Structure 1
């Protein structure tokens, strides 16, 4: 079952006053510094954090609610809130008119609202507090509330279709979606949580001398690259020695570094890799020796060619540290990955955006500032793009 994010909504987060926009299989966002590209990316990452139960901690780590709330002028009569929402589902979800039964598997929407604590709540003064959460099924002709949280009280639809109330000591900083981990009694909620946890966000591949990318990792079969790339050697070893099919990997290496060869020894306790370049055919350049750009590109290959691609992959400024000659191969790599996974990409590079338009058949979207708020050029207030009209 292939499930894609159909729509994203963000309100009151940093430079984003309020925005709602659709997603396609391959989504490319380009713009200048300071327009808020990363805030859109980060807003979606925080939705995943809600599923993981780490939303309050992640907001606190980026400066707390004072930093995360909408940076513009707010109405003092209204409480300060951050609202995040996604709609996701299988393509072409429809239902049987006779018995209201869904013909295809899944369509759901999740929304969460975060604010500051009220004086009567036991919490730190600037700690993010979950004010409301809703998970809704959109499979049938009429929406069904699968999970609803208002303040401390949570209600969820169980496997028999009955609403069950849950207080169970849920703290104001804990998400209901992250806490209600019971796939037997609440299967619909568990499905949504599992799908969100499968999303991957790649934005900080360290390449300094002490970076995990430069060191061997434990030899454990690894189908998907971790967010920091620390298990890249295990990802390559899994492709070479477990799947035993490196056709796409070899082609991607040759496209980016013509004539080069990836060397991935049979792992013992640890997995490692190196590169043989055509100028030095008898010399293997180990992980610690590779240039920052080469190592970063290999990490992107691990993210996009892994044994099991996540359903959704987000890349934030993947062109960082790369030579301009690698942008064409990178665009081709991303376009191939988009055949199997939904891709979200944020970039400064007009060249990369142009290459993706060419190889991925996608219209890059330009992030702009409009009336002091982050916006997407061509996006209408209805939440769609004028150039995508039927």
Structure 2
């Protein structure tokens, strides 16, 4: 399994500096404004960068001054290094982004390297400076192997955000059946993806998803996925012991989010992203559903890497201390610290992990 084993990030939003090792399962905890969502938004920036939309992302994020730690006068550049453990070594992506005229960011440096296991030094590719969009796409298309590998890895670090379940949300609308290669970040194509899962490999992934949804929503029987004349499909469904067909607007917000999470985490193993990033997956879920989702996250982490944030102490009870990264706001910067299980042994003899967090023993709290 490929894994993002280390992330170094300087000068991004509230993150003045971070150098942290990542595990298969990583749970961010912290008070509002501590910086959890800022780390997640860094991966969102990577998603947009790898899609060739970096300058659009900067513009829609409030320009460069909103991305630089306390603005360009304090922090003139953002620097990041991502080290991926692969089968035969370590692939590393390094970039420095400088503030430029028009309140934007340009690449001051972009470097790719591969250190093969057993070799004394890495093979390095310099992608130049002064460009507004990443050059890794061009380098990969030119056939450079390190660029091809890192483009794949970076493109498969995917951020998902299922908070919008309003009546106009994409997940409640119809989607084109051909838009089914992978789950979109807002699950707007979940109906098309479920339709494909139902038809492929004997429907094994589809049945796993259906079974999990029934655990969370016992009234749910099955989806009614029938493409219309324009080859669009909508998330219609049936209740148990009823032939009446309901539409996606008749799902509660919590049930709809649970459907999105189940589809994301129970898709075929060979289709999972390399890194799944989700901000507050517990939002709107019943306590029992929280336990189901936590179990899914732990099992999925056996096959791919996961990074999530949470503000739920009961949700936290489902995980081990070594999975937890406490985020604290120290002065003007976010600090990230992974818990040390041995330091908590005495506390965990009497209290659950969530209770220890509520007592502000491990940090990541509002006090």
TM over 0.5: same fold? yes
- Distance verdict in 2 for CA 1:143–1:386, change over 3 Å: farther
Q: Which has the higher helix share?
A: 2
Secondary structure in structure 2 of the residue aligned to 1:295: helix
Are residue 62 (structure 1) and residue 61 (structure 2) matched?
A: yes
| Residues 1:272 and 2:234 aligned together | yes
Query: Residue 160 of structure 2 contacts residue 185 of structure 2 at CA under 8 Å; is this kept in 1?
Result: yes
Q: How many equivalent pairs are there?
A: 336
Confirm or deny that 1:337 pairs with 2:296: no
Aligned CA distance change for structure 1 residues 50 and 353 (closer, same or farther; 3 Å): same
Other structure's SS at 1:10 match? strand
- 1:256, CA displacement in angstroms? 1.1
Residue among 204, 209, 223 paired with 1:263: 223
* 2:319 match: secondary structure: helix
Which residue pairs with 2:129 in the alignment?
151
Name the CA distance, whole Å, in 2 between partners of 1:89 and 1:294: 36
C-alpha distance in structure 2 between counterparts of 1:61 and 1:309, whole Å: 28
2:178 counterpart SS class: coil
Aligned 8 A contact 1:50 1:178 in 2: no
Is contact 2:282-2:310 (8 Å) kept?
yes
* Alignment match, 1:165: none
Q: How does 1:97-112 map to 2 (within 5 A)?
A: 104-112=87-95
CA contact (8 A) 2:191 2:235 kept: yes
Secondary structure of the corresponding residue to residue 104 of structure 2: coil
CA distance in 2, matches of 1:231, 1:318: 18
Contact 1:262 1:273 in 2 (8 A): no
TM-score, normalised by the number of residues in structure 1: 0.78
Greater alpha carbon shift after TM alignment, 332-341 vs 33-42: 332-341
Partner SS for 1:366: strand
Q: Distance in 2 between matches of 1:106 and 1:21?
A: 19
Q: Which residue of 2 aligns with 1:314?
A: 277
Are 2:179 and 1:217 equivalent residues in the alignment? no
Give per-residue Cα distances to partners, 1:224-264, cap 9 Å, x unaligned: 21112111001111121223223421331122123532223
Structure 1 residue 333: Cα displacement:
1.9
Task: For 1:151-300, list aligned pairs within 5 A.
Answer: 151-152=129-130, 172-184=131-143, 186-220=144-178, 222-243=180-201, 244-245=203-204, 246-258=206-218, 260-268=220-228, 269-278=231-240, 281-300=242-261
Aligned-residue offset at 1:116: 1.4
| CA apart distance, 1:54 | 2.6
CA distance, structure 1, for counterparts of residue 288 and residue 212 of structure 2: 14
**Counterpart-to-counterpart distance in 2, 1:218 and 1:73:** 43
Q: CA deviation at 1:74?
A: 6.5
Match of 2:115 among 115, 127, 138: 138
RMSD, aligned α-carbons: 2.5
Q: Distance in 2 between matches of 1:151 and 1:350?
A: 45
* Contact 2:157–2:274 (Cα < 8 Å) also in 1: yes
Does structure 1 retain, via aligned residues, the 8 Å contact 2:5–2:22?
Answer: yes
Q: Partner of 1:169 in structure 2?
A: none
CA contact (8 A) 1:136 1:143 kept: no
Relative distance call for 1:213 and 1:44 in structure 2 (3 A) is: closer
Q: CA deviation at 1:183?
A: 5.0
Match for 1:127 among 104, 113, 126? 104
CA-to-partner distance for each residue in 1:319-349, whole Å, 9 max, x for gaps?
A: 2232333211111222222222211111122
Q: How many angstroms apart in 1 are the aligned matches of 2:170 and 2:297?
A: 24
1:273 shift after superposition: 3.2
Residue number in structure 1 paired with 2:333? 373
Question: Structure 1 pair 216/13, CA: closer, same or farther in 2 (3 Å)?
Answer: same
In structure 1, stretches of 5+ residues that fail to align are 91-103, 118-123, 153-171, 380-384
Uncovered stretches (5+) of structure 2, i.e. residues with no partner: 344-367
**Maintained 8 Å contact 1:223/1:306:** no
Q: How far did residue 223 of structure 1 move?
A: 4.3
Distance 1:325 1:56 in 2: 42
1:356 aligned counterpart, secondary structure: coil
CA deviation after TM superposition for structure 1 residue 221, in Å = 7.0
Shift of 1:220: 2.5
